[in-house]
Structure 1
Amino acid sequence: MRIEVKNLSKVYNQTAALKDVSFSLTEPKIYGLLGRNGAGKTTFMEILAGHILASSGEILINGDRPFDNRKLTEKICLIKEGDNFNKDMKVKQILRSYSLFYATWDHQLAMDLIREYNLPLHTKVKSLSKGMASALGIIVGLACKAPVTIFDEPYIGLDAAARKKFYEILLEEYEKEKRTIIFSTHLIDEVSLLFEEVLILQEGTLLLQEGAETLRHNTCSVSGPITEVEQFLENKEVIKRDQLAGMMTAYVFGSKTEAKQAGLTVEGVPIQDLMIYLTEKKGA
């Protein structure tokens, strides 16, 4: 499904959460939506899911607006950090209600995941531990098979092993049946290899949209004597510089091969570090 974001803004009590954001997601991929707290990620996802209205601008999904559009919201699933479900309903009732809402619901997958996460079907949501509540959200998000599936920090309370299992199942299901998956997380290093495209928001604006492989190949850390590094950095976009005792390390958009040919020490920049450096950069 084609997602077009056009001059999207959202203001809460005179505070702008999103400021004139525009971009397109044109094909099924796993998108990493990154940024610091308060960057506008959750606001964007709630508008995309049709939960709230924009102050100005719009989001179009295959040409239609999602707000108050049942035909379209049946194709979108947003799983948030918490408060996804009616706390007085039992797990089995939650699964039943979502199976009725989503025509794409995969009952067998849901039951397999219930067993995987050892989730009690007859327990009310309010009696679940934080980890079990997160597992329920993950199960619904995967089993709904909505063409647009959005995960906003979905694993709070899950231990490292349970999170790893979630990533594995997510990738397996995506490979079986492609869909647009938007994944917002602060545990970027854990999931960055899943991302096919990365979007970074900063203070309500779009800072970067780029293919993950392009970022990995075209960003690097270079180290060496200050004069040699500075010479290499000429006419390049520098993310950050650090100097110590006559040596410099710089994080830069540039060719690793070119840096090696210049005799510099070259390393890749993890996407998590790149996001941190970019959002620290003055005037980024």
Structure 2
Amino acid sequence: MNAPPTWDPRQYLRHAAHRARPLADLLARVPDLPADPARVADLGCGPGNSTAHLAERLPAARITGYDNSAEMLARAVADHAGPTPGGGRLDFAHADLTDWTPTETYHLIASNAALQWVPGHLDALPGWLDALAPGGTLAVQMPDNSDAPLHALMRDLADSAPFKDRLAGVLRAPGSVHDPLVYLDRLEALGCAADVWQTTYLHLLSGPDAVLDWAKGTGLRPVLTALADDPEARDRFVAAYRDLLREAYPERPYGTVLPFRRLFAVARKEY
């Protein structure tokens, strides 16, 4: 069994502004919650920047961010834990979303760019919805671009002769995020009023090898973790991937454009 990726909060936050925009778009579609102050769970909170955005939207809420990365949680606690200016509070706790079971009632369960890492996340939805108060909301956003060169080139390289023995099964499968209609059907069948959509962002990145720098914070983490004990092989992989990305995402005079499709789902539980 492959080890879970080791995360680097500093690398992840290098593109924090771009990663925050989809969360803002998600929260803009969240309806009024049935209680104020609200009880909120942030699933896959990473270094806590998403949790802080939730606190800006819900200043009096009591929010807990959950993540399975010790590195991410340490950064989240250091930067964000404690009382908020609006009278709420931010806390953080370890949890693995593959088996996270709510132990209390929430008014909002949110997840920003995390469920693509959770096999079988559709099967978790009934239990999460059961944990919502009547009128509560589940709001999730996931990258939905496994067919993009960003990921396809990485998978092809990992499956090539120099690396396939070390990297077999390391990367996420292309079907880790389902068709939008699958989520709509499932959420409506569970008794929710659901809103599901896709958006393709044209992230304008700056700096040399900007798309590689982006990938080092997210999708490339499993490879970097698997090859951590072999720096020479790791560097060969990164260099080859860099060259492929340069061709797929050429630098323009004004920066490098990374088209990035994301899937959104907002489901309100009936009263």
Q: Fold conserved (TM > 0.5)?
A: no
User: Which one scores higher on RCO, CA 8 angstroms, separation ≥ 6?
Assistant: 2
1 or 2, which has the higher strand percentage? 1
Q: TM-score, normalised by structure 2?
A: 0.30
